[in-house]
Every structure is written in structure tokens, then in C-alpha cells.
Structure 1
Amino acid sequence: MKKSLLIGIAAASVLALSACSAGSDSAAPAGGGDALTPVTVGVIPIADTAPLYLGFDQGFFEDEGLELTIETATGGAAIVPAIVNGDYQFGFSNLGSLMVAKDKGLPLELVSAAVASTGDVTSDMGAIVVSGDSPIETLADLNGKTVSTNSLNNLLDTVARSTIDSAGGDSSTVSFVEIPFPDSSAAVENGQVDAAFVVEPFVTSALENGNRVLSYGFAEFADKLDIAAYFSSAATVAGDAELVTKFQAAMKKSLEYAQANPDAVRAIIATYTETPAEVLAKIVLPTYPTEFNVDAVTALSEAALKYGVVENAPDMSTFLP
């Protein structure tokens, strides 16, 4: 049964990864009757989480007997403690952050795929951009330069370091600095940084401002790299297997629907962010897989270990659901 989504406009159109700084905004879609089991999911109001909103709108969660409440935040830093404390049953975060959390011993368990790169090295949802008149032509030209990402020692700089080294550069000579996505394009244009690793809609915005793409980093790192996942606490996974199974089933339907209906994805994003319609029409959407790309996630874990993001690479047999 299709339902209308009751949710306030997000405070900003931050189409970013979950490594952003903490902050919060909330929305609680109306649920079903008393027979439904309440479930709260903490997410970031970005394109990556569109399937969850579509799943609510299409009634997929209600079909599984779940009364869905969506709590939004500007970053995973606010979501993780809410999961650990049991305030939320499920949450959304990028895989870099989840690898770090597991490495630190936090009791978290991945339960569902969420979003991945397109795998297209000529058009993807994440890119390293430089100014239009920059002399930098290849990733190797970034030696000795400054590159911004939205969070340090996390997903983006791990991918950037790996792709730079693979291209014949030396990432140890690159200075990575933390700049929020909305400010990255200006930082490139005014020379504050030589390059910036950004995601949509900031890739599109950067191009419209005269910048150019140096590398579609995610796609060059691995084919259809998983960017993020839905996760829960170890206590919920162990103590309420039925709830987890229902959530996984609803998410699978939601991801499949989003992947098959890109126009619906763009339309639903407009209901929970302030992204202008003309930008939504141009951005490159991610893919919404129902299964993890184990080889790509393994490569990411190895890179995280190589570049000191984690002390121990996660065992894929236990890290992935």
C-alpha cells in the first residue's frame, strides 16, 4: 500500500557521505496500526538514502510489519552512539567509518547494502576536481599538492591515496585537509587547495562553476565500490533476529525499486532536501545494490590498513552480513 511521506525539509542539501560532522534534524513518517512493530532508522538526508524514503512511500516496510520512523542527522557521528545506546535500531554510515568503528571494538554489525559507485570512470557520483585552468592533468601531478576531503582518515582520503599511488604518484607527499563539501569548490577556485574530492551534487556544482574532473575516484579505485551500509548493534542482531530479517527484506525491496526507478529517486530526494530541481536533474545518481561487492570492499579494507586508517583490516566473513 503506497503512503505519502510526511517529512520536513532538511536544513541543507548536503548530498555527502556519512563521515560529515555531527548534527541533527529529524523526521518521523506516519506509521501503520497497532500491529506494526516500531523501528527507528538513523540516516543522513542525502541521495544515498533515497531507497529508505522510497521504501516507506511504497509501503515496503509496512508490508513487513514495521512502523518506520526516520531520524536524520548531518553525519554518522550522531548515528553510531544512538545505535549503540539502543535509541535507533538501524543506522546508515559509510564503510570507512564502519571499518574504523569495528577496529575500535564498537559493537556494530552490518545488516544491509545501501549505495555504491556507478563503476563508470567517465561519469560517477564522486570525483576529484581541480580548477579549470589548473596545470594538474593526472593524479600523479598531485604530488606535493593539497587535496581536501570532507573527513580525514576515512573513506575519501583512503580512496584518493590509493588511486594516486596506482597512477604512479606518491600520496605520502600529498597534504589532505578537511573541508566540508559545500565549501570545497570555492576552496579550489580561490587556491586554498589544489584539488577536492567531492560527491554529488557538488560534482555537478563544481563543473558548472568552471572546474573540471581530474578523476572519478571511486570508480577508478574499484568496480562499483560499496560506499556505505545499513548497520545495527550487535545486541539487536543477536537478540531480535526477526526484526533484522524484516528490515533486510524491506530494504531489499526498497533498493531494487530505487535502482529500477531513477526518476522516483530524484523526486523523493526533493521531499527531504533543499536540492534545486535543476541540480537534481543533472546529478549522477549512485547505484543501489542489494548485495555487497566483496572484492571491492576487501580492497577498501586493505587500503585502509595500508594507509593507517585501521590497525586491523576487518575479516569479510564476519564484517559483511
Structure 2
Amino acid sequence: MTFYKTSTFVLGMSILFLSACGSDSADGQSGYEPESLTVQFVPSQNAETLEAKAAPLEDLLEEELDIDVEVSVSTNYTTVVEAMASGQVDVGFLPPNAYVQAHDEQEAAEVILQAQRYGVNEDGSPTEDLVDFYLSMFITSADSEIESVADLEGKTIALQDFTSSAGYVWPAAALMDEGIDPLTDINPLILQGHDAAVTAVLNGEADAAAIFQDARNVVVNDFPDVFEETKVIAFTEEIPNDTISVRPDMTDEWKERIQQAFINIGESEEGKEIIRDIYTHEGYVESEDGNFEIVREYADRVKTEE
């Protein structure tokens, strides 16, 4: 009888101990449940400007999720991946190559959403249709003799971090298609922010720039004649749209809550205005890892060619 009572006591204490370890969601699933949420963006434009544009998103997310939210901008494309891997960031607005790096190399990110954008016409103007991809484009000054990617050999080209899909990987592949090595056959000018790349062309610091479509809109307030002073010489192949990715150890319940929160924000007029201003996003749709196989192919190709 004593043994039975002792065994029951030990079993009960074991259950209490296991229940105290970690956190359980409403459906009994164990995993990370944020008491406050940290959201981070990559610096696709001037970090201070981007942070100011993203700040209003905090209030909208807090209303949707009923917890405190902190929005910030990483110092570069790699920092946000490292922050998610170390558990310092819960949600990352990751461009395709940064997402693949975080998912494959660090096991630090799980995609839950993909941005929607308007397509682009040959002259760079937007189409009326929303798509789940975007393009990178090469621009030069309007009076430049450069007319094609083939003409970029030996030229100074404004580029982004090597993990930037639109600012490096896809443009590098386009150069390779013309037999131009992006590491040795051009003079790469590595900048932080696509707005800086556009400005470099306007100021004569670069012969050309590789930017996301159409990053010239980011600087149009400061340079009203940017569209007249530059021209588009080429577009790349399609790039899967940016992701909203979360820590993989997060409970399914919280992944779904965050997913729905961003969908709701993208459908509201106030929210759409904010996300359009940040990244030219027009809303969000559910996504999965398989959508980014083309990103892995491009990354392997550029890496192999290097």
C-alpha cells in the first residue's frame, strides 16, 4: 500500500514537472509562445527611413495579436538571419535568398506568408494584376551609351549584399548569361539599400545599378526627375516575392495567429498603405517552402560560378 502511494506521488510530481517545462498551446502542443513579438526587416533602403515607415505596423499588430510588438530594421541581410537563429527575432521579413539561407543553413525560419505585388510592364510601369513574383532591373543614366547587359562588362555597377535576391543574385546570373563574371569582369559597388543604388547612378558614382522593380519610386520625392534621368536596360527572370517567416519552434497556434494578423493588415486600407510604403507590398497570401526551389537553384548557380 505504501509503495502504491509513493509511486502515485512520484508520477504526479513528474507530470507537474513536465508541464512546467516549456509552454503548451491550447491544443496541448508544446512550443514557443511569445509574450511579446519582435519583428525585423532587412534594409532594402535607408535603415532610418525604413524604420520610420515600419513603426506604424507595431500598433496594427498589437491590435491584431493583443501583445506588445517591437519592429526594427537589421543592419544588413545576414544579421536578421542570425537574430532569428539565436531567438532574438520572432518574425522576419526575409527576401527569398535570405529566407533560404535561414531555413536551410540555420534552421531558423519557416515561411508562413508571401507578399503580393503588382506586375511590371517593359517600361517599368506597374500592371493592374497582383502577382507572387517580382523582377530585378538594371538602370543607367538616360544619356548613357549602355543599352544592354552585355554592355556592362568593365563598368561600375551598384549592387547590394551578396544574399540580396534582386540586388545581387539574379543580376549576377543575368551577367553570367552574357559571359560576364560578376566578381572579376565588373567593378561592383556594394551599397546598403536600393535607394542608394539609384542615387549612385544619378550622381555618376555608378554606370548602372541593379535594383528591385521599381526602386526609383523610393527616391522620387528627393529626385522628382528620376524617371526622366534614368532608363531601364534589362529585367531579370522572375523572383519569388518576399516572405514573412517565423521561428520554427513557435506553436502552430501562434504561427496561424501571426499569419492571419498580416493577412488582415494587408486587406485593410490603413495596413495596405503602410506595407506599400515599406516594401511595395500589396498584401499577403499563404506560402510554403516549395515555392523557393528556384531560389536554391539560383543560389547554387551563382555560388558555383564564383
**Percent sequence identity over aligned pairs:** 17
Matched, 1:138 2:140: no
Match of 1:192 in 2: 205
Alpha-carbon shift at residue 196 of structure 1 (Å): 0.9
Specify every segment of 5 or more residues in structure 1 that has no aligned partner in the other structure, as ranges. 1-35, 274-283, 312-321
Match of 2:70 in 1: 70
**What amino acid is aligned across from residue 197 of structure 1 in structure 2?**
A
Decide which of 286, 290, 297 is 1:291's aligned counterpart. Answer: 286
The RMSD of aligned alpha carbons is 3.9
Match of 1:148 in 2: 158
TM-score scaled by structure 2? 0.64
Alpha-carbon shift at residue 299 of structure 1 (Å): 2.6
Match of 1:31 in 2: none
Match of 2:189 in 1: 177
**What amino acid is aligned across from residue 201 of structure 2 in structure 1?**
V
Larger radius of gyration: 2
- Summarize deviations over 1:102-159 as a string: whole Å, max 9, x none: 44x2121223224355331332586422112100112232233231112135312111
Match of 2:245 in 1: 231
Specify every segment of 5 or more residues in structure 2 that has no aligned partner in the other structure, as ranges. 1-33, 127-133
Alpha-carbon shift at residue 91 of structure 1 (Å): 2.0
Matched, 1:92 2:101: no
Identify if the C-alpha distance between structure 1 residues 233 and 291 changes in structure 2 by more than 3 Å, giving closer, same or farther.
closer
TM-score scaled by structure 1? 0.61
Paired residues for 1:19-58 under 5 Å? 37-43=35-41, 53=56, 56-57=59-60
- Summarize deviations over 1:68-104 as a string: whole Å, max 9, x none: 412212444443333223233222221212223344x
Match of 2:171 in 1: 160
Task: Determine the C-alpha separation between the residues in 1 that align with 2:249 and 2:109.
Answer: 9
Match of 1:27 in 2: none
**What amino acid is aligned across from residue 73 of structure 1 in structure 2?**
V
Contact residue 304 and residue 310 of structure 1 kept, 8 A: no
Q: How many residues matched?
A: 247
- Summarize deviations over 1:206-264 as a string: whole Å, max 9, x none: 672453232464xx411xx334212223333xxx222112111212222333xxx4x76
Task: Determine the C-alpha separation between the residues in 2 that align with 1:295 and 1:207.
Answer: 40
**What amino acid is aligned across from residue 136 of structure 1 in structure 2?**
I
**What amino acid is aligned across from residue 81 of structure 1 in structure 2?**
E
* DSSP-derived class of the 1:234 partner: coil
Task: Determine the C-alpha separation between the residues in 2 that align with 1:67 and 1:250.
Answer: 12
Match of 2:266 in 1: 255
Decide which of 230, 235, 251 is 1:212's aligned counterpart. Answer: 230
Task: Determine the C-alpha separation between the residues in 1 that align with 2:198 and 2:283.
Answer: 27
Identify if the C-alpha distance between structure 1 residues 180 and 40 changes in structure 2 by more than 3 Å, giving closer, same or farther.
closer
Match of 1:221 in 2: 237
Contact residue 265 and residue 272 of structure 2 kept, 8 A: no
Match of 1:123 in 2: 125
